[in-house]
Structure 1
């Protein structure tokens, strides 16, 4: 796999997984359907999906070449990137549709 293609696929995966919690009413995306899921559940799902995305990125990095050790700044930037990617879903769920929908 080309490294440029891998980066773009990982960014696309990050964007999709960051917005999934805001478009689903299921707990942890697979659990029981709830009429109104709280913001806390959505943030927990976002955190878990961030870990999944980082794991897939590390797997891709290991397949392309040598995996580099990462410190806390890497994980802080990854979390901030996922929060930025989640903005469209958050806007759709809480700002455009309102809290009553």
Structure 2
């Protein structure tokens, strides 16, 4: 896999994973819950997805060559980008009116 393809793969998976907690009522899109998820559970799930996608990106970077050193700035920017990616799912879940 080329470096460009692996970057786009991570970006697309991050976009999907950031919206998954807001689209699905299941925990990690697998486990059915007895009560509906609240915002705190959705945000916690989003943090777990952030670290999973980040681990995948780290693996792909390690596979393609030497890993570049990252400081706190890198994690602040990628966290903000992940939150930005979650905006469509958040908007759909909390700002649109859902009719039964």
Q: TM-score, normalised by structure 1?
A: 0.90
**Structure 1: any 5+ residue segments left out of the alignment?**
none
Q: Name the residue aligned to 1:44.
A: 44
Partner of 2:24: 24
Question: How far apart, in 1, do the equivalents of 2:63 and 2:6 lie?
Answer: 10
The corresponding residue for 2:71 is 71
Q: What stretches of structure 2 of length at least 5 have no aligned partner?
A: none
Q: Which runs of 4+ in 1 moved over 6 A?
A: none
CA contact (8 A) 1:25 1:35 kept: no
Aligned positions, number: 100
Give the alignment's Cα RMSD to 1 decimal.
1.7
The alignment's TM-score, normalised by the length of structure 2, stands at: 0.90
Distance in 1 (alpha carbons) for counterparts of 2:64 and 2:96: 41
* Displacement of 1:35: 4.3
The farther-off stretch of 79-88 and 29-38 is: 29-38
How do 1:1-20 and structure 2 match up within 5 A? 1-20=1-20
Structure 1 residue 69, shift from structure 2 partner: 2.0
